[in-house]
Amino acid sequence: MSIINFAVIGYGGMGSYHAHNLIPAESTRFHVVGTYDISGERQQISKGKGLHIYESLDEVLKDGNIEAILIATPNDSHKEIAIRALRAGKHVVCEKPVAMNTDELDEILAVVKETGNVFMVHQNRRWDPDFLIIRQLYQNKTIGDIFQIETRVQGANGIPGDWRHLEKHGGGMLLDWGVHLLDQLLWLVDSPVQSVHSDLSYILGDEVDDGFMSYITFENGVRALVEVGTTNYTKLPRWYVKGLEGTAKINDWDLSGEIIAATGRKDVAAPTPIQAGVGLTKTMAPPSEEATEKLAFPEPKADFVPFYQNFYEVVREGAEPIVKNEEVRKVLKLIDDIFESCHKG
Amino acid sequence: MSIINFAVIGYGGMGSYHAHNLIPAESTRFHVVGTYDISGERQQISKGKGLHIYESLDEVLKDGNIEAILIATPNDSHKEIAIRALRAGKHVVCEKPVAMNTDELDEILAVVKETGNVFMVHQNRRWDPDFLIIRQLYQNKTIGDIFQIETRVQGANGIPGDWRHLEKHGGGMLLDWGVHLLDQLLWLVDSPVQSVHSDLSYILGDEVDDGFMSYITFENGVRALVEVGTTNYTKLPRWYVKGLEGTAKINDWDLSGEIIAATGRKDVAAPTPIQAGVGLTKTMAPPSEEATEKLAFPEPKADFVPFYQNFYEVVREGAEPIVKNEEVRKVLKLIDDIFESCHKG
């Protein structure tokens, strides 16, 4: 099988992470040839790493040696770069969020159809170990049918200091982190969304949202609470998931947490009322010791190949993409709807 | 000052807790004379404690020695008992939820007005130490203006096994525990509710809700997430509260938890990006060490007298009640609205 030569468009934090960490450089499948970035400083860094410096996007697109590009520029430039690259005969890997809205994405997808080239969005967090654990619990019914999913990321640093503060570049946390959490969720639950209630946060005074909370119900009965925060000095768990026979909590990306499951034993004592504040409660008392047990987390395993391996197989072997464009569109449509409903109030 | 003689109507879990723990028996202010309960078993227990056994509510109401009653019967019987007692010239302390809905409460309040007798609802969780800590943070702006409040109680025992399973008796968790959390919240925030989005849980198959989630926005900008769960084998914190300058988390009634606040120092290093799952993030990276500090919780102090002391002062000295009937009505109206919106879907 022949190597796919890549050029990286936008050699910032994510672009350089792709160039040096994600695109599997040691394999016989990929080679990162060069980068295009408008910043002279970034060009120098790229040169220092031995990569070719392209002077313009045109120069990349005219380079017959380049078969695929990675787009890691600000969100508002994805559409134009993607369309020009597809029309120039390149395959495209695009950072998330794929575009500013579904109208833009539909323009891209029309050109995908027209050209037959591959266009794949880097929804890499489908491979996050914490998500893979939740996915296994969901699919294997380890704690019974899962009916409630709370998925949160919380930081205390506000919005990072660059174009992510600006609306015209597609800044804000719903597009930046929301797209990850919603992509994971919709892929996991795989049932039509029935209702969404959202609230965007503007507490930091930026023109874009510094976080949000969304409560989503799915047609299959699953409920989800999705939250991104950038003003959280102490955190709630990354995942809090309720099944009919137990509850799982993953605190953070370090995979600390616990699964507590019902033993189903019939001979257990009723819970003893506890003093709770100035009152008594049986309802909120801990269950008797025999009624529950602690389970170990499953190993975070994916039953699907890594992102770039899949991209290679899609390009060379016509394999099914793991991140499908119709799934990406569904997530972006949900984001469109959240913006619309929140701006209407 | 003369003693107020009490009779306890409904000598179950809460009634006996009032009779023996809450009504200050050692003081010169109160005396619990006797109880009325339809259960022979409960009558025997009451007799064993040296309390007079009333054979009927009428007997209580005709007893000129009784000045006040405590109502701790199932929720659907509060209204009739309260109205008859008020008309019989008794003062009334009523367990929560005060009534099945605001229509019922309005009937009671009309008789309160007509008779001039005291009617106070035992919203005792305004005195909970965890709530008093949150209230001090809110009022003293220890972590700046608080703009987000998450208040949860979570158990793993389902709904307790009696009339609380039944709709006609006013069962379900919104009326049972929701009324506490909403009473605390509305009293704390003291701003009109702007919007409410709620979802009742029926996962256990009861005819009444086994929990709920409500997202509430207030006119002053505060957001609140209120949750009661009875299918939670591991818990989220009792309180999670965000201020402009810090975040507080109280895990449980044991008052464990933490407050992390911004130091406001200008010379702190920017956060270093961390590996998070398969990606990098600066946004969700921990702030640099100098940027935050851990604060101690304030002592849980109330700047208002205990419930029964207040009741005594209201009856004998015309003091202002701490739990005002218009506040109780506001909470019940919110509960009515939540039921209505959820049943409409």
pLDDT at A343: 86
Residue spans in chain B of domains classed CATH 3.30.360.10? 126-301
What part of B 127-186 touches A (C-beta under 8 Å)?
A: 127-131, 143, 147, 150, 153-157, 159-160, 173, 176-177
Q: Give, for all 345 residues of chain B, the pLDDT tens digit.
A: 699 999 999 999 999 999 999 998 777 899 999 999 999 999 999 999 999 999 999 999 999 999 999 999 999 999 999 999 999 999 999 999 999 999 999 999 999 999 999 999 999 999 999 999 999 999 999 999 999 999 999 999 999 878 889 999 999 999 999 999 999 999 999 999 999 999 999 999 999 999 999 999 999 999 999 999 999 999 999 999 999 999 999 999 999 999 999 999 988 888 888 999 999 999 999 988 899 999 999 999 999 999 999 999 999 999 999 999 999 999 999 999 999 999 876
Cα-based angle B1, B4, B8 (whole degrees, multiple of 5): 165
Q: Output the pTM of the full model.
A: 0.96
User: Chain A partners of B342 at a C-beta cutoff of 8 Å?
Assistant: none
B98 class by beta-carbon count within 10 Å (0-12 exposed, 13-18 middle, 19+ buried): buried
pLDDT at B270: 85
What part of B 286-305 touches A (C-beta under 8 Å)?
A: 286-287, 291-292
- For residue A1, name the pLDDT band (cuts at 50, 70, 90): low
pLDDT at B345: 62
Q: Compute the distance between CA of residue A132 and CA of residue A302 in angstroms, rounded to an integer.
A: 6
Q: Compute the distance between CA of residue B292 and CA of residue B306 in angstroms, rounded to an integer.
A: 36
Q: Quick check: helix, strand or coil at residue A96?
A: coil
Task: Tell me A98's DSSP state.
Answer: -
Q: Six-digit token pair at A220?
A: 């299959």
| C-beta separation of B178 from B213 below 8 A | no
pLDDT at B327: 98
Residue spans in chain B of domains classed CATH 3.40.50.720? 4-122+305-335
| C-beta separation of A155 from A229 below 8 A | yes
pLDDT at B1: 64
Per residue in A18-60, pLDDT (tens digit) is 999 999 877 789 999 999 999 999 999 999 999 999 999 999 9
pLDDT at B263: 95
User: Chain B partners of A145 at a C-beta cutoff of 8 Å?
Assistant: none
Closest CA to B280 of A94, A22, A73: A22
| C-beta separation of B170 from B80 below 8 A | no
How many CB pairs below 8 A link A and B?
171
- For residue A288, name the pLDDT band (cuts at 50, 70, 90): confident
Mean pLDDT score of chain A: 96
Q: What's the gap in Å between the CA of A177 and the closest CA on chain B?
A: 9
> What element of type H or E holds B345?
none
CA distances from A242 to A192, A247, A294, B32, B245 (A): 20, 4, 14, 45, 32
Hey, what's the torsion of the CAs at A32, A36, A40, A42, to 10 degrees? -40
User: Chain A partners of B249 at a C-beta cutoff of 8 Å?
Assistant: 234, 236
| C-beta separation of B99 from B112 below 8 A | no
Pairing of strands B146-154, B193-201: unpaired
For domain B4-122+305-335, give the CATH number.
3.40.50.720
What part of B 202-261 touches A (C-beta under 8 Å)?
A: 203, 213, 215, 217, 223, 225, 229-234, 236-237, 240, 242, 244, 246-249, 253, 258-261
Residues whose CB is less than 8 angstroms from the CB of residue B223 and which lie 6 or more positions away in sequence, other chains included: A199, A213, B147, B148, B149, B215, B216, B217
Q: Compute the distance between CA of residue A126 and CA of residue A187 in angstroms, rounded to an integer.
A: 8
Q: Examine the pLDDT at A257 and tell me if it is beyond 90.
A: yes
Task: Tell me B144's DSSP state.
Answer: B
For domain A126-301, give the CATH number.
3.30.360.10
CB contact under 8 A, A233 and B287: yes
| C-beta separation of A83 from A109 below 8 A | no
Most B-contacting residue of A150, A196, A209, A278 (CB-CB within 10 A), to test interface: A278
* Higher pLDDT, residue A103 or A287: A103
Residue B42 neighbours by CB distance under 10 Å: 18
Count the helix, strand and coil residues of chain A and give each as a percent rounded to the nearest 5: 35, 25, 40
CB contact under 8 A, B230 and A283: yes
Does B271 contact chain A (CB < 8 Å)? yes
Q: What is the ipTM of this complex?
A: 0.95
